Amino acid sequence: MLLNLDASLQAQSMLVTAPLLKTPGRPLHIISLPFSPIIGLNMSAHAEKRVAERITRSRGRVLLVMDEQQPDLVRMLRSKGIEVVGVSTGTAAIVSLQRSRPHLVVANPFATGLSVNELAKMLEQSDTGIPLVLAGTIPSTRENRMKALSEGAFDYFELPGESDLLVKRCEQLIALRQKIDRLRADADLDSLTGLANRRRFRVSLVREVERWRRYGVPCALLQLDIDHLKHINDHFGHPAGDHVIRQVAQTLSEVSRDNDTAARLGGEEFALLLASIDVEKAGAAAERLREVICRRPVEGVGHITVSIGVAGCPTSGTSERTLYAASDEALYVAKNGGRNRIAIAPPLQEKLPGVES
């Protein structure tokens, strides 16, 4: 894999020989590494994997939240071309939701550890507004269906007797969600790169910080600048500069996971919002990302470099504004320190060297 954020041992080995910029009386925050190639990097294989994943995501995706396996229901959904991306208990639903990014959630209201109200509220507040349908063994009386609607679900169906109706309802809601997704794409995506734009990035940032507040799940923010893009534009022309921007965007898209958000904030500025990652792992991921971008030559331009600022929630900031400001200051330090390097924001109440209050 091009960028394995969970490869903690690999991350340690990449940083063990790195020269560190020390600030007297403060912890080490800035990681400054010269270019060093990643052994065994296979960009084409990883790109093919990402394409395959996107093809899978283009199909309808349903997350089942139930205590027991539902082989008949899974078979019926798959026969309609709907991908069942997971069968989770109530307690594991939050993690499964972030990893699978379904179009629809079907849940048993009596699943262990499940609060229908809590789940419905979380789905409604997600940046895509995932609908919830309830299904279980209790009769689908008028009262039970009304209760499901009152709790935020779209409907309730009795299993196994109403499995065919449930599948039909899933088809309708998935088709509606996919249509909404297509309409939103024009408003949410950067026209040059296809990445999330600043508006979509802000929505995702609010969502991830809120996840930390509610569930204690960390996140990290990488802000990235292409070094000397103005010189590239002046020397090679703006079409070449656009080509550089698109290649960096392609790399960000290839390395990001389904629950991450890669965005172009404007000009040569990018962001990568990493879900469920602490600042230490994010720093290692940022260094691998820097190496990957440095290693890939841009046709007609040659090799380019990037500077990256890293901050984590809650280590570096506990709100959208403070997390963004921390990563922005870290980016400033990386650029001011010579570019082609990363800088990690310090813990709260401390200050990055080179940044005046």
Domain boundaries, the chain: 8-41+189-344, 51-185
Pick from 5-19, 78-92, 242-256, 321-335: least confident? 5-19
Active-site annotation holder among 83, 151, 158, 268: 268
Of 217, 285, 274, nearest to 7 by C-alpha is 285
Asked if pLDDT for residue 98 goes beyond 90, the answer is no
In this structure, are residues 273 and 310 in contact, taking their beta carbons and an 8 Å threshold? no
Rg from Cα positions in the chain: 23
Pick from 65-69, 112-116, 329-333: least confident? 112-116
Please enumerate in sequence order all residues whose Cβ is within 8 A of that of 270, keeping only pairs 6 or more positions apart, or say none.
Answer: 195, 223, 224, 225, 226, 248, 249, 252, 262, 263, 264
Give the pLDDT confidence score for residue 348 in this predicted structure.
84
Enter the pTM of the model.
Answer: 0.60
User: Quick one: pLDDT band at residue 33, thresholds 50, 70, 90?
Assistant: very low
For residue 141, CA distances in Å to 115, 150, 195, 241 come to 21, 14, 46, 62
pLDDT tens-digit map of 201-257: 999 999 999 999 999 999 999 999 999 999 999 999 999 999 999 999 999 999 998
Q: Which CATH number does 51-185 carry?
A: 3.40.50.2300
Q: Is 268 a catalytic residue?
A: yes
In terms of phi and psi (left: phi > 0; alpha: psi -120 to 50; beta: otherwise), the region of 194 is: left
Is the CATH number 3.30.70.1290 carried by domain 8-41+189-344? Answer: no
CA atoms within 13 A on the CB side of 49: 13
In this structure, are residues 271 and 310 in contact, taking their beta carbons and an 8 Å threshold? no
Q: What is 232-301 written as a DSSP string?
A: HHHHH-HHHHHHHHHHHHHHHHHH--TT-EEEEEETTEEEEEEET--HHHHHHHHHHHHHHHHHSPBTTT
